Amino acid sequence: MFTFDRIAQDGRARAGIFHTPHGDIPTPIFAPVGTQATVKSLTPAQLHELGASLVLSNTYHLYLRPGADLVEEMGGVHEFMQWPNPMLTDSGGFQVFSLSDMRKIDEDGVTFKSHIDGSTHRFTPEKAIAIEEQLGADIIMAFDECAPPLDRAYNERALARTHAWAERCKKAQKRSDQALFGIVQGGIFADLREQSAQFISSLDFPGHAIGGLSVGESKEDMNQMIEVVDAVLPENKPRYLMGVGSPEDQVNGIRRGIDIFDCVLPTRLARHGSAMTRTGRINLMNATNAHDKRPIDETCNCYACQHFTRAYIRHLIIAKEMLASTLISIHNIATLLNLVRDARTAIQAGAYDQFADEFLANYNKLQ
Amino acid sequence: MFTFDRIAQDGRARAGIFHTPHGDIPTPIFAPVGTQATVKSLTPAQLHELGASLVLSNTYHLYLRPGADLVEEMGGVHEFMQWPNPMLTDSGGFQVFSLSDMRKIDEDGVTFKSHIDGSTHRFTPEKAIAIEEQLGADIIMAFDECAPPLDRAYNERALARTHAWAERCKKAQKRSDQALFGIVQGGIFADLREQSAQFISSLDFPGHAIGGLSVGESKEDMNQMIEVVDAVLPENKPRYLMGVGSPEDQVNGIRRGIDIFDCVLPTRLARHGSAMTRTGRINLMNATNAHDKRPIDETCNCYACQHFTRAYIRHLIIAKEMLASTLISIHNIATLLNLVRDARTAIQAGAYDQFADEFLANYNKLQ
């Protein structure tokens, strides 16, 4: 059911198809994030029109509100939010560990307080998998610990837990129609990353993720860690770089063998009036856009760019109109989806390095 | 250019087509309101999918932000907001008079302070028409004074001004591709309303509006005033009941000869989690909807009702997700547009009274 067909390889970059019960995912792919079972400010119809494939939702958020029982009762997260295509849920680990002074870790799991009402809850590997099975996404993630990337001693302890928890997650899984991905951790320490990739690979998950990156370390460290892990993970299974999704990170990640990305950036930046393009970010609030009849990006084929001027979108931002978020989100997600589509085409043509070099040379040029 | 074809009459109710440079408006019609050149939380594509025809925008708001000069520079309000179908702008009078202690009226016009930054501005009949010509809607409204409905002495003075200003608006109009509608005022006083309808009719506008209703008077008073005015206004021109648009007001208005309605209610209620149906309003926040797998309205054909459960929409409201406003706005506008479409069909079938009686008998029934 969860086979991964590699259809082209160019250097370390790969083009493939990951088959899921809710359809095929062409890789490399960018997954928009629907934290609370909605990709903020967009309808599923708008996401579909963008050509989105995989959509991510967050276990921590859905567990707290509206509750995994309710989502299950409503037929699972696909049916609940009306996204008929592939979905992925994280394990809640990243959110829980981000609560810092509102959580307590032990070898068995984590006790934490809700950011909504302060109520106390507990996640263990078994509990996280049970919730993800209630939610019913196609790809579910093991419960791991995301440690501060630069703290060696902490990463060693956390990695032992993450590995023990990965085994417990695998044993806890009951549903066979969900692909459980293992997660490689290890901060910015090459030996820990290598050790983690070897251990996680040995558990024979149908796919692998790299966690704990893009959380404060340098771009060089991130790219090096991806390379270390890429050299160890089996080629015949998809690799998912969790929480990473800026255009340059995608281009660099694909070059290092990554197949799947997700990130809240396109919708979060949209809510702050910031547009993502292949040459860099544009602050649409800027007065230079006040009389600008051009679309956000003249090279973009999205609904926002095919219809609306920068002047109009700037007006919407200043007037605090919701449509601003919707239009910029459409554009930003289109930018990332078009980027992975073009990367895939370049890989198939054996021209990925040239594509990546040209992209990076143009990126961050002045608008 | 602005001919009004009456295609059916049933009692006082009429079905027609009003021809404009941006297309035909089938009447009776409900116009969604795009105050700041956007119908809140919807894209034009979503409005189009709803079958919307006429869309209203507010002169006062566009004049202050982004400014009529900018809208004109961008090609007018149709082009600016990308609504290619018919549009209407009010004159700004209603908003200016609503500013109460921030405005001062004289015989020549009104001086007022911006609700945005407190800056001082002045509207006269000539200025209002000049702005509406810059905005470029198909239907533009005369600058009138909306008086407190129950104050006889005030209404007498205000009516004299409104009539003088109507003549000045007509003289001020330069563009021939916009239909300038005159506005009948007179509070809840039948003789003033009759006098106003006679005077405004005598100026030979291509259409007429009834202003100053649904502003605090009783439903009985409103319906009586519509009847008084309906008996005077010429049959061969469209009648627009300004700012009125609840389902029951539309059904009652159509019965009394009204062709055009507009109202912020569907989008405003949506932002408060309230859905409009043919049997009454539903507060979707209500806990009774928490596990409800039904759509908002099982009889509705809109995108929201064809896809999403009440349980999901309630979750979106509680989680403060923008999609809640979008989905409920889609549904509420669909309710009002389906209502006027069905009313039109009933008029054409000579069965409007039965349609209206049945509607009113079912309205406000428990959900």
Prediction ipTM score: 0.97
What pLDDT, on a 0 to 100 scale, did the predictor assign at position B357?
97
Higher pLDDT, residue A97 or B307: B307
Rounded mean pLDDT, B16-36: 98
How far is residue B357's CA from residue B350's CA, in Å, rounded to a whole number?
A: 14
Find, among A207, A276, A243, A234, the residue nearest to A27 by Cα: A207
What pTM does this model have?
Answer: 0.98
Q: What percent of chain B has pLDDT over 90?
A: 96
Check CB contact of A287 with chain B, cutoff 8 Å: no
Average of per-residue pLDDT across B142-159: 96
Asked if A80 and B293 come within 8 Å (Cβ–Cβ), the reply is: no
Q: What are the Cα distances from residue A187, in Å, to A150, A190, A229, A260?
A: 6, 8, 12, 20
User: What residues of chain B, 198 to 237, have a C-beta less than 8 Å from chain A?
Assistant: none
Q: What number of C-beta contacts closer than 8 Å exist between A and B? A: 106
Cβ atoms of A24 and A356 closer than 8 Å: no
Residue A364 in contact with partner chain B when CB distance is under 8 A = no
Neighbours of B54 (CB within 10 A): 27
Chain B residues touching A325 at Cβ < 8 A: 322
- Closest to A82 (Cβ–Cβ): which among B308, B311, B318? B308
* Chain A residues touching residue B325 (CB < 8 angstroms): 322
> Residue A139 and residue A122: Cα distance in Å, rounded?
22
Out of B38, B291, B315, whose CB is closest to A323?
A: B38
> What's residue B115's pLDDT?
92
Q: Do B70 and A291 touch (CB under 8 A)?
A: yes
Tell whether the model's pLDDT for residue B164 goes beyond 60.
Answer: yes
Q: How confident is the model at residue B364 (pLDDT cuts 50, 70, 90)?
A: confident
The answer to whether residue A305 scores a pLDDT higher than 70 is yes
A204: alpha, beta or left, given left = phi > 0 and alpha = psi -120 to 50?
left
Q: Is A316 on the interface with B (CB under 8 A)?
A: yes
Radius of gyration over every alpha carbon of chain B, rounded to an integer in angstroms: 20
Write the burial class of residue B195 (CB in 10 Å: 0-12 exposed, 13-18 middle, 19+ buried): middle
DSSP strand pairing (B179-184 vs B87-89): unpaired
d(CA B279, CA B263): 19
Chain B nearest-CA distance from A62, in A, is: 10
Confirm if B359 and B353 have CB atoms less than 8 A apart: no
**C-alpha to C-alpha distance for A322 and A43, rounded to whole angstroms:** 13
Q: Which residue has the tokens 């890989």?
A: A347
**Measured between CB atoms, does B267 come within 8 Å of chain A?**
no
Q: Are B22 and B39 in contact (CB under 8 A)?
A: no
pLDDT at B136: 98
Backbone torsion region of residue B37, taken as left when φ is above 0, otherwise alpha when ψ lies between -120 and 50, otherwise beta: left
Tell me, rounded to whole angstroms, the distance of Cα A191 from its chain centroid: 25
CA distance readout (Å), A354 to A357, A358, A359, B243: 5, 6, 8, 59
pLDDT bin (cut points 50, 70, 90) of residue B367 is very low
**Cβ–Cβ < 8 Å for A355, A17:** no
Put simply, the answer to whether B321 touches A66 (Cβ < 8 Å) is no
Q: Is the pLDDT of residue A163 over 60?
A: yes
- Per-residue pLDDT reduced to its tens digit, A66-83: 999 999 999 999 999 999
DSSP letter at A141 equals E
A10 is catalytic: no
Instruction: Judge: B315–A82 Cβ closer than 8 Å, yes or no.
Output: no
Q: What is the pLDDT of residue B99?
A: 84
Half-sphere exposure of A246 (CA within 13 A, CB side): 14
* pLDDT single digits (tens) A210-257: 999 999 999 999 999 999 999 999 999 999 999 999 999 999 999 999
Calculate what percentage of chain A has a pLDDT beyond 90: 96
Indicate which residue of A90, A230, A259, A297 is catalytic. Answer: A90
- Yes or no: say if B273 and B317 are a contact pair by the CB < 8 Å rule: yes
Kindly tell me the sign of the dihedral angle through the C-alpha atoms of B55, B61, B65, B67: positive
Q: Pick the residue with more confidence: A289 or A364?
A: A289
Quick one: which of A331, A302, A348 has its CA closest to A28? A348
SS3 label, residue A326: helix
User: Cα distance from B270 to chain A (closest Cα, Å)?
Assistant: 13
Q: Whole-angstrom Cα distance, residue A336 to residue A242?
A: 15
The predicted structure's pLDDT at residue B1 = 84
Closest residue, chain A, to B291 (C-alpha) = A70
**Confidence at residue A101, expressed as pLDDT on a 0 to 100 scale:** 81
Query: Is A101 considered catalytic here?
Result: no
What digits encode the pLDDT tens for the residues B171-202?
999 999 999 999 999 999 999 999 999 999 99
Of the candidates B199, B198, B201, B196, the one whose C-alpha atom is nearest the C-alpha of residue B212 is B196
Contact (CB<8Å) B323/A66: no
Confidence (pLDDT) at A366? 53
- For residue B292, the chain A residue with the least C-alpha distance is A74
More confident residue, A169 or A102: A169
Write the CB contacts of A330 (distance below 8 Å, at least 6 apart in sequence): A42, A46, A50, A302, A303, A304
Report d(CA A309, CA A331) in Å as an integer. 12
> Which pLDDT score, from 0 to 100, does residue B366 have?
52
Residues 27-66 of B with CB under 8 A from A: 36-38, 40-46, 65-66
Query: Which residue, among A326, A246, A263, has the nearest Cα to A31 in the 3D structure?
Result: A263
Identify which of B342, B335, B337 has the alpha carbon closest to the alpha carbon of residue B53: B337
Is the CB of residue B299 less than 8 Å away from at least one CB of chain A?
no
Q: What pLDDT does A100 receive?
A: 78
Q: Which member of A10, A138, A259, A262 is catalytic? A: A262
* DSSP-assigned states of every residue in B249-315: HHHHHHHTT--EEEESHHHHHHHTTEEEETTEEEETTSGGGTT--S-S-TT--SHHHHH--HHHHHH
In one-letter notation, the amino acid at residue B355 is: F
Long-range contacts of A93-98 (CB under 8 A, 24+ apart): A93/A123, A93/A128, A93/A141, A93/A143, A93/A144, A93/A145, A93/A146, A93/A211, A94/A60, A94/A146, A94/A211, A94/A242, A94/A243, A95/A58, A95/A60, A95/A61, A96/A60, A96/A123, A97/A145, A97/A146, A97/A147, A98/A146
pLDDT (tens digit per residue) in B256-277? 999 999 999 999 999 999 999 9
CB contacts of B293 in chain A (<8 Å) are 74
